[in-house]
Chains A and B, each alone.
Chain A
Amino acid sequence: EVVLTQSPATLSLSPGERATLSCRASQSVSSYLAWYQQKPGQAPRLLIYDASNRATGIPARFSGSGSGTDFTLTISSLEPEDFAVYYCQQRYNWPPITFGQGTRLDIK
């Protein structure tokens, strides 16, 4: 099973700042990695797939990079609506499909 480890667990930033979230895989997942955003009481929303492709309707301030075992989600300039929990997910070696434990992005 591929274990995904996200860091940091919590990130406290202010609107307008740049956010960098990390996801590390226990073995190579090539570029088969996605990022999701989840707000309280809501279902997750797909942001990035195949490591660097933005999903439909996702603003350009969200970008993804990486391959193999190390991946990054960058939010270039935080908007108030971006404060949420972010999860990475792999589908390279499945079943099982696995998710990281999440990074909470808080307003500072």
Chain B
Amino acid sequence: EVQVLDSGGGLVQPGGSLRLSCAASGFTFSSYIMSWVRQAPGKGLEWVSAIGGSGDNIFYADSVKGRFTISRDNSKNTLYLQMNSLRVEDTAVYYCAKGQGGTNNWFDSWGQGTLVTVSS
């Protein structure tokens, strides 16, 4: 069974840092593009970042470029999101999401979400 389990959220002050993790199982992790998608409280979905299976193709939304870093460790079947210089507007539930196949960015499996709260 395909599973993705995200973790690492919490309360952080503006300007602080946090690292999210996503543990994957039930599929060949290195063969799939993975993404982070966030949802601010009561709002819609916003794509944050994506990384190719081998880790060489990386993309960011303009809202996080230069502050967030996506990475993956295929030996540990784990996806990461390092978030620096956090802002109040980064407050959201963060989901890791698996691409459907190859470079396909239809998200067919999602984590349960981890809440990041940026507040003083």
Contact surface of A with B, Cβ cutoff 8 Å: 34, 36, 38, 43-46, 49-50, 55-56, 87, 89, 91, 94-102
Contacts and interface: CB of A to CB of B under 8 A. Distances in A.
B59 A95 contact: yes
B112 A94 contact: no
Interface in B29-66: 35, 44-47, 50, 59-62
Given A34-B106, A95-B50, A97-B35, A87 B44 contact: yes
A64 B112 CA distance: 26
A84 B55 CA distance: 35
Nearest to A90: B105
Interface of B: 35, 44-47, 50, 59-62, 95, 100, 104-108, 110-113
A98 B100 contact: no
Contacts of A36: 45, 107
Contacts of A102: 44-45
Nearest to A50: B106
Contacts of A46: 100, 106-108
Contacts of B106: 34, 46, 49-50, 55, 89, 91
Nearest to A98: B47
A75 B55 CA distance: 38
A43 B110 contact: yes
Contacts of B47: 95-99
B105 A55 contact: no
Contacts of B61: 95-96
Residue in B45, B46, B59, B108 whose Cβ sees the most chain A Cβ within 10 Å: B45
B110 A95 contact: no
Given A43-B95, A43-B113, A100 B44 contact: yes
